[in-house]
Structure 1
Amino acid sequence: MSTAEPTAATRAGSAAGPAAGTQTRRTPGLVPVKETLRSAERRPRHPAEPGTPPARAPWSFWRLLRSELGLTFRRPRNLLMLAALGVVPVVIGVALRVVAGEDGMGGIIEDVAGNSLMLTFVSFSFLVLLLMPVVVSVVAGDSIAGEAGTGTLRYLLAAPAGRTRLLAVKYLNAVVFAYAVTAVVALSALATGLALFPAGDVTLLSGTTISMGEGLLRILIAVGYVGAGMAALAAVALALSTFTEVSIGAIAATIVLIIICQVLRAIPELGSITPYLLPTRFTNFDAVLRSPVDTAALGEGLLAFGAYVVLFGSIAWARFSGKDITS
């Protein structure tokens, strides 16, 4: 009896494990792992339930947007399109400079020849109805359909990016590119105008003369307005991009839609629907060439742009949030 008691005590002591303050975990087939109480307290007491989405860092949205912007502005195709848009105002300015010396020239040629800032508004008038929308449509229409076509959309959503967040990033990327397109046209036209035509006071369409500084401010307002119009068009292209896995299809559909709107605007009998067509509001930037600035026309245009963004943004979200991602 006396020898059995120490043996039992010895076995009990060995079963208790190491010294106090440590625990021993035994996993079948593996070497025991010693863990201090302090390290054990660092483990989550209530592990996440299966199916719970992982926590997302608050800055992950902006990191994803920065990555998307980097890809957009490093892509050779997009850079070539921006460069082509920058060349067009130069061509327009040189052509107007050549014909400005001929007798009997008036109207827009006389306005541009009289002041360098007017070339910016003339360039917008030529480009805002077709060429600028085409460039914006290429980027916005490729946003979702391009990812699906190359098979990277599933990987973006598995990151996890989240469908709503990914859609918002794609749209903001298209908006930034739309304003970049507008700024490139404005800066190219302004530099060309200052190089080819005299600078000074600006005579507006209403006949009022303003200073060059105020003229530059009005160009800035026009850039903001035209950029908003291109952002509204980007929402249309993004919505169409969610319905296909072929980016050229979304791009072509957007361009065809713009052309159809231009044709409808040219038919006098359809004048009742003209105010509701998006391209109708693109040219309202000329409100800054009046004294005072026609804020009513600018406000109506911005309201129409906002309505298009809400409508087609909702369509894009409804389609993308419930879409089966197969590629």
Structure 2
Amino acid sequence: MSAPEATVRAGVSTRFLRSELWLVYGRRRNWVGALVLASVPVILAVAVRLSSSGAQGGPGFLDLITSNGLFVALAALTLELPLFLPVAVATIAGDAVAGEANLGTLRYLIVTPVDRTRLLAVKFAAMVVFTISATVLVAGVGVLLGLALFGGGPLPTLSGTTLSFAEGLGRLALICGYISLCLVALGAIGLFVSTLTEQPIGATITVLVLTLASQIMDAIPQLSAIHEYLPTHYWLAFGDLLRDPIATEGLRPGILSALAYVAVFTTAAWARLTTRDISS
């Protein structure tokens, strides 16, 4: 391939990705979803601030919010991880291919000089960007409001030590990265399901049912033999990033599990899309 041809191909690919991101972030329903995600840290911080008895005894990091505003972000991520963030990711992933098929635009995308592999890669990339931005949105709103209402300072760790404020921000960034990777694995499942149907709402619901079923099975001790294979099993392992030093016992299998799910289900989605008979 000559240099000019490579440049043209790169330009086309970039435009395709920009177009896909414009569709994702331009939809009104996604803006509404973003407002819902952002509302949780707001409600959380204001409720703790107005509470005369503090937040002792609450789940996650609620009892530490008043000591450092960074814990607003951590508590919000903990509260949103079981449902709200998966709903957001499942909506985008489920709509990726099924939405195009439902609107009748998938066939036109295929017949243009955009092969199916590139189409799937762009859909996956857009889902990854959205997943990261959704996680950062929750954490960012939590940090800004938490610092405004409760201040900053050294960050207490789960090991009993403290980290500087800058180190605390770095740990929060790592937590966002870990959670994003776990959610991308869920999105990969949604992308595969999206290639199986022409109904995006059906794909979204399927992913949500799988997510909730995984969490329910993970809570049943009698099913411990399959716990490590469930997509949600290692989600809360991000707490190990708040230890000093960082504990990797739970993080390493969590990362490997997420990468395995991404590899398996993106491959399955590719196999399905590249062999699918698209007539509408």
CA contact (8 A) 2:89 2:131 kept: yes
Tell me the distance in 2 between the aligned counterparts of 1:292 and 1:176: 30
What is the CA distance between 1:141 and its match in structure 2? 0.4
Tell me the distance in 1 between the aligned counterparts of 2:108 and 2:231: 35
Match of 1:250 in 2: 203
Higher relative contact order structure (alpha carbons within 8 Å, sequence separation ≥ 6): 2
CA contact (8 A) 2:157 2:243 kept: yes
What is the CA distance between 1:229 and its match in structure 2? 1.1
Q: Give secondary structure in 1 for the equivalent of 2:152.
A: coil
* 1:235-292 deviation digits (Å, cap 9, x = unpaired): 0000000000111110010000001111101211011211111111211111111110
Match of 1:147 in 2: 100
Q: 2:29 aligns with which of 68, 77, 88?
A: 77
Alignment of 1:177-196 (within 5 A): 177-196=130-149
What is the CA distance between 1:165 and its match in structure 2? 0.6
Q: 2:269 aligns with which of 303, 307, 316?
A: 316
Match of 1:86 in 2: 38
Tell me the distance in 1 between the aligned counterparts of 2:255 and 2:55: 38
Q: 1:173 aligns with which of 126, 145, 161?
A: 126
Give the greater-gyration-radius structure (CA).
1
TM, length-normalised to structure 2: 0.93
Q: 2:53 aligns with which of 102, 118, 124?
A: 102
Provide the aligned length of Structure 1 versus Structure 2: 272
Q: Which amino acid aligns with 1:231?
A: V
Q: Give secondary structure in 2 for the equivalent of 1:326.
A: coil
Name stretches of at least 5 consecutive residues in structure 2 with no aligned partner: 1-6
Alignment of 1:152-301 (within 5 A): 152-301=105-254
Tell me the distance in 1 between the aligned counterparts of 2:165 and 2:55: 27
Q: Give secondary structure in 2 for the equivalent of 1:271.
A: helix
Distance 1:182 1:103, change over 3 A: closer
Distance 1:273 1:104, change over 3 A: closer
What is the CA distance between 1:106 and its match in structure 2? 5.0
Distance 1:206 1:76, change over 3 A: same
What is the CA distance between 1:104 and its match in structure 2? 9.3
> Matched residues, percent identical?
41
Distance 1:196 1:161, change over 3 A: same
Distance 1:103 1:62, change over 3 A: closer
Q: Which amino acid aligns with 2:212?
A: I
* 1:195-214 deviation digits (Å, cap 9, x = unpaired): 11131111111110111111
Match of 2:77 in 1: 124
Tell me the distance in 2 between the aligned counterparts of 1:122 and 1:248: 29
CA contact (8 A) 2:62 2:75 kept: no
Match of 1:20 in 2: none
Q: Does 1:66 align with 2:49?
A: no
Tell me the distance in 1 between the aligned counterparts of 2:127 and 2:13: 15
Tell me the distance in 1 between the aligned counterparts of 2:274 and 2:258: 23
CA contact (8 A) 1:121 1:286 kept: no
* 1:144-201 deviation digits (Å, cap 9, x = unpaired): 0000000000100111210111011101110100001001001011011111113111
Choose 56-65 or 275-284, whichever is displaced more: 56-65
Q: Pick the structure with more helix per residue.
A: 2
Tell me the distance in 2 between the aligned counterparts of 1:251 and 1:264: 20
What is the CA distance between 1:234 and its match in structure 2? 0.8
CA contact (8 A) 1:149 1:247 kept: yes
CA contact (8 A) 1:164 1:321 kept: yes
Choose 239-248 or 192-201, whichever is displaced more: 192-201
Q: Which amino acid aligns with 2:133?
A: A
Tell me the distance in 2 between the aligned counterparts of 1:144 and 1:104: 43
CA contact (8 A) 1:90 1:192 kept: yes
Tell me the distance in 1 between the aligned counterparts of 2:54 and 2:237: 31
* 1:82-110 deviation digits (Å, cap 9, x = unpaired): 111011111111122233x3279356443
